[in-house]
Structure 1
């Protein structure tokens, strides 16, 4: 009887250890605060957060407004990368090209928000930082 109870306990422990899933959210690069990019080049900015299991990544304007795609101007890829495409000076829009953005990562562990990142377009490539 004692041996059967011990085997039963061991089987339960094995089953429980397989069922345990580690959930977490984390920042990849929370120190990024400012990105200046050339209007002739554009910029791709990965969300500076992630998670396990896979986290849903979303971008927002600092005011909390959802980011929406603007064809050939701004796009959020399925992997959470925010892309601002190259543009002509006449297509400049301060809401898109000179604003603060933040990203969130969300999974079963909860939701985290990155610090705000000021993204600003410039005309010359000197002093520009292209983030990939």
Structure 2
């Protein structure tokens, strides 16, 4: 009888040890790679968002809407979710295929296994549709000896993706910014030009 009890206790100890070993080898999900907080892309290029995770057992990966946690799926030709955690936005035709709920959305990568669930940071996705635009600068009149301010007007739909590279006067002379923020090349007598948030400051001397 004692020998039988010893065998039972030994079996229980082995089972407990094996269970502890298996448990110690398992772990909750951890996100190893996630996209930047903001992802802007052109409709002509598309974009891939990568989300790499680890954990034991291997976590399942889905993408969700940050607003309500709803899991997203494929949208033929516009969005595809791969099992490896990559979210793909293929190139698309500009006005015909742009969809705000797909191309202007906040997403999260979500990883889950029996030990828990983790999320990536919010990823603000914005697709930019390539289209023509024109800049403009209003006429300003200034008395000699005073200053004038001109602003380069950029359409709002491209303002976040466009920067002023140069100003060109009526004679075709270009003024490009130097390292100190001044504009050089073709400096006129008594004229100094500075750049600040698309503004051109002209200082007309009295002589």
Q: What's the TM-score bracket when you normalise by the shorter of the two chains?
A: 0.7 to 0.9
- Match status 1:36 vs 2:40: yes
How far the C-alpha of 1:118 sits from its partner, in A, is 0.3
Residues paired across the two proteins, number: 120
Task: Indicate the RMSD between aligned Cα atoms, in angstroms.
Answer: 2.7
Summarize the alignment of residues 1-132 of structure 1 with structure 2, pairs less than 5 Å apart.
Answer: 12=14, 15-16=18-19, 18-20=21-23, 21-29=25-33, 32-47=36-51, 49-64=53-68, 65-90=70-95, 91-123=97-129
Deviation at 1:40, TM superposition (A): 0.8
Contact (CA 8 Å) 2:112, 2:118: kept in 1 or not? yes
Check whether the contact 2:64–2:72 (CA below 8 A) recurs between aligned residues: yes
Tell me how far 1:100 sits from its aligned partner.
Answer: 0.5
TM-score, normalised via structure 2 length:
0.50
1:64-94 deviation digits (Å, cap 9, x = unpaired): 2321211111110111211111001121111
Distance 1:31 1:82 in 2: 10
Maintained 8 Å contact 1:49/1:103:
no
Mapped partners of 1:110, 1:48: distance in 2: 16
> 1:112, 1:95 → 2: CA distance?
24
CA distance in 2, matches of 1:100, 1:119: 6
C-alpha separation in 2, matches of 1:48 and 1:79 = 8
Aligned to 1:130: none
Q: Indicate if the aligned counterparts of 1:35 and 1:118 stay in contact, CA closer than 8 A.
A: yes
Cα distance, 1:123 vs structure 2: 3.6
**Which stretch of the first structure deviates more once superposed, 92-101 or 28-37?**
28-37
Higher relative contact order (CA 8 A, sep 6+): 1
**1:23-72 per-position Cα deviation (integer Å, ceiling 9, x unaligned):** 12212245720111121111111225443321110111222232121111
TM-score, normalised to structure 1, is 0.75
* Maintained 8 Å contact 1:39/1:121: yes
